[in-house]
Structure 1
Amino acid sequence: MRSKDGYEIGNIISFLNVHRCFNCSKRYKTLNSLRRHRRVECGKTKDVICAICNHSFYYKQDLQKHIHKKH
């Protein structure tokens, strides 16, 4: 079954709704989480790299938060 904007809606064993991305097959509990995934990360590469630990991020602001919290 698909929602009106083309996302698949299915069920898992625990009977929670699951929303699957057709592009990468990742699954999310809420449709809003899937929409955010599609808008923010799906098909994009994590080009921002922490020089200290090599962790990668989609956005520079996420790297800055990481450095502040972890290093």
Structure 2
Amino acid sequence: MSREELIKDTVEKLRHLSDSRIQEVSDYVSFLASKIDDKIITEGIKTLASTSKSYEFLQNEEELYQVSDIKEKYQ
């Protein structure tokens, strides 16, 4: 079934539902859309963070501590 046919079929089924059921379907569709928006935003943030040069200075930072500095090792 194509996308357009599926949409038409869904709309036809919605016509037979009560107002309260249509509201439930609308709320669920809004929920699904917000999940997609959240995923797009999260991926965008990951991309920005991975390509950002904000923390580039940390790559050239000298090591402050050595293994020999450890007084007690976790077991």
TM bracket, shorter-chain basis = under 0.3
**Larger strand proportion, structure 1 or 2?**
1
TM score, norm. by length of structure 1: 0.25
Q: Compare the two structures and name the one with the higher helix fraction.
A: 2
Structure ID, larger Rg: 2
Structure scoring higher RCO (CA < 8 A, sep ≥ 6) equals 1
TM-score normalised to structure 2 length? 0.24
